[in-house]
Chain A
Amino acid sequence: MLQTSSCIVSRYLSAVITFVLFCCLIVPGTANGKESLTLGLLPEMNVFSQSKRFQPLAVYLSKKIGKEVRFTILSRYGNIIKSLQKKQVDGAFLGSFTGTLAIHQLGVEPLARPVNLDGSSMYFGHIFVRKDSGIMTVDDMKGKIMAFVEQATTAGYVFPLSYLQLHGVEKYQDFFKEYYFTGSHDASISAVLSGNADIGAAKNTVFDHFLETNPRARREIVILASSLAVPSNGLCVSKDMDTELKNKLKNTLLRMKEDNEGKKVLKVLRALDFVETNKEDYEVVEKMASHANISLSNYQYENK
């Protein structure tokens, strides 16, 4: 009898401890009143370079908003939606497609997006091949190997899909001999350059940077098609974030170029400035998704 009672007590105690530990693990990551702010980054380019690019911005934002800001890089584009859903991150620099998805599915709020070194705050997608591949048209692509970036990227998936649809390719799965997802834009370019794939897709900012640092790529890769311009990767935050914090973040980004430290951070980011962005800016992506037969409200995908 005594033994039974102690067993019951023990079970309750275990349950209480488990619950407390669970709360301890969950609460610090999502609460608005917490000491730090976690922002997600997409692996649009080499994850190490990406991490290094955003490190100074974390320091700068921490100083300006009076709260520790840390960036966490995600290995998958699609994971950002899950992370936001699970409130593992308070916001993220989302690509145009993931941004559009998050707006539609999670109601995230876009705050600001960077102005690229060419002066625009937009980017567009490229479809490219090796010069010696002999591929000039969509017809030439048939039976070749395609390197997409990820199913949640505009330039790396939605645009090539839309492009193929417009050129009569209904089901790319049957059109290509093989296709796969590299996970990042520069990995897609590397795949084409190294011969692992015949056709690649990537966003122009990463493409241009890749070609800047790789003379062989400049010599050997040629662009076959480019998409319409879409908004650059802007900072979107959870709809639950405190308004004051949101404003602080937004204003800090918009005023970065006004001080020397901010200018230095912008230089590392390869950006000139930050401009305000809103949901309307993502309409062009919505249209592109529509052409690619993608329903943004319930778009679910699984990488292969």
Chain B
Amino acid sequence: MKKRIVLSFVLIFSFFVLGAGVLLYHLFSSSSNLRYLIGLHEIGDIRQELSYNLQNVQLYVLSPPVIFTEHLDKVIESVDLLDESIRACHDCHHVPGIRAEIESTELLVADLKVEMSHLITLVSEGDRRRDLQRNVSDLSNKIKDQVHEMVIRAATTIQSKSDSVMSAIDKSYVYLAFTMLLVLLLAFFVAQYLTKSVTKPIKSLMEGSSEIAAGRWGYQVAYDGKDEFAELVGIFNTMSRSLYTKKRQLHQQMDELKNAQNQLIQAERLTALGSMAGGIAHDFNNILGAMMGHLSILRKTIPQDHDNIAMLETVEKAGFRASDLVNQLLTFSRKKTTKPLPLPISTIITSVVSILDSTMKNNKITLTLNLFEPSPIVYGDSTQLEQVLMNLCVNARDSMKDGGEIKISTVTRYLDEQFVEKYKHVDFDPGEFVQIIVADNGSGIEKKNLTQIFEPFFTTKGEGKGTGLGLSMVYGIVQAHGGCCFVDSTLGQGSTFTIYLPVHSPPH
């Protein structure tokens, strides 16, 4: 842009200088011609003086000697003035042609002076005097003719020079007007061009700023120039892109933070629920144990054909059901006693799959395994871990009324500090983990339910179809094994449960 501005001004200045130069040339030409004209007018006086002196001389030519004697000083003065006049002409003219004529006239005057002197001093009369008179007369006529020619030429030159002066002055006006008009037009176009060059990118940048202000982060300003504005637009576009990226990162971070908050809340809720359920279940289990013990004694003491035996059996069945419920609650609250052993996880999975194989087939569900080999070893209770997988697979089956596919895969991963920091609601240390993924393509879970999915007694299966303790047990067992579990689900597409269990490292 700077270069363009400088070039524009140089262009205007160049045109101005060019016009001024042409104008000056014509003015110089005019003034030179004017000076020449003044010179011609000045020498016009000299020519008149010359003619006057020539006439004086001619008057004396035919005079008798006595006149010369009486007026000799005047005659000499006239001839000298004639000589001076022609010399003055010589000093004024510089054109070679005219100079040659003047020199020729000077020679004639010199000859005239010689012949005139001879005539003045001649003592004899008669033919000699007449010859000299004729010579002087001829010479003076020649001078007169030459002067006359010079006068005519001078008049012609004056006319010609006057015409050329007027023409040059007229041209000067035209050139001045043309230069002014041209410079004005040029200045107008240059100003318009520069204004456009400046305002167009500024306008684009202002529009870009408005777009960004309106929330269109990452808005790009289009500019095809190669000047400083191109750099500015480039910087603007980079800034816009950067804002867009930062905004996305911020949103992502906000989402993550929100998720973490939700998970933390969920975890705290689950922990609170676990504590409460565990306490109730423990006390209830003790009470139930006493009731079931006394019920067993009572049944042994009452005959089998007693009318109340059926009532006892019903109470006993309810007692067992209550016992199962209490066990499940204890499992969720991690207060159930476990018997941990090093276990190959693939064996646990294949064991569960073999149990479920027939029921899955009946429901047109395919079970696909993709297990990491050699099987990672976890340190845990096989019954509880089998229960975890069983619950997940049963839930998956229940979500696929018309069949589908359940994929179970394992892989080992190192969960670092960053992961731990990200899921700080989960109580585990960084280290080597086995990742178990159970994914189905069933009906999925509504988003609003995802936060409550691991809570006890929360079920979407309808009344009488589920206890709402299956996933609570999964959560409790995984937590009890030093791991963690996550769910991701899209309604209508299926759900994916991810479980991390620490890989067992036997003591060296």
Interface positions of A (Cβ within 8 A of B)? 43, 46-49, 51-52, 72-76, 79, 150-151, 180-184, 186-187, 190, 196, 303-304
Contact = CB atoms under 8 A, between A and B. Distances in A.
Contacts of A181: 122-124
Nearest to A180: B124
B128 A76 contact: no
Q: Which 6 A-B pairs have the closest CB atoms?
A: A183-B121, A181-B123, A180-B124, A303-B123, A184-B121, A46-B117
A85 to B, nearest CB: 15
Size category of the B interface is: 20 to 34
A202 B208 CA distance: 115
Contacts of B122: 180-183, 187
Contacts of A48: 76, 79-80, 83, 113, 116-117
B114 A150 contact: no
Given A47-B76, A73-B76, A76-B69, A187 B121 contact: yes
B118 to A, nearest CB: 4
A52 B72 contact: no
Question: Which of A47, A181, A182 has most chain B Cβ within 10 Å?
Answer: A47
Given A48-B117, A187-B118, A303-B123, A75 B128 contact: no
A79 B120 CA distance: 13
Given A181-B122, A186-B117, 18 more contacts: A43-B120, A43-B121, A47-B120, A72-B72, A75-B65, A75-B68, A75-B120, A79-B69, A182-B118, A182-B121, A183-B120, A183-B122, A183-B123, A187-B122, A196-B128, A196-B131, A303-B124, A304-B125
Interface of B: 65, 68-69, 72-73, 76, 79-80, 83, 113-114, 116-118, 120-125, 128, 131
Contact of A43 (B79, B113, B117, B124): B117
A304 B69 contact: no
Nearest to A48: B113
29 contacts: A43-B117, A46-B117, A47-B72, A47-B116, A47-B117, A47-B120, A48-B80, A51-B80, A52-B80, A73-B72, A73-B76, A75-B65, A75-B68, A75-B69, A75-B72, A75-B121, A76-B65, A150-B121, A180-B122, A180-B123, A180-B128, A181-B122, A183-B121, A184-B117, A184-B121, A190-B114, A303-B124, A304-B123, A304-B125
Contacts of A303: 123-124
Question: Which of A48, A52, A72, A190 has most chain B Cβ within 10 Å?
Answer: A48
A179 B484 CA distance: 164
Contacts of B65: 75-76
Question: Which of B72, B113, B123, B124 has most chain A Cβ within 10 Å?
Answer: B123
Given A48-B80, A48-B113, A73-B72, A304 B124 contact: yes
A190 B117 CA distance: 11
Nearest to A185: B121
B237 to A, nearest CB: 94
Contacts of A79: 69
Contacts of A187: 117-118, 121-122
Contacts of B125: 304
A51 B121 CA distance: 14
Nearest to B76: A51
Contacts of B113: 46, 48-49
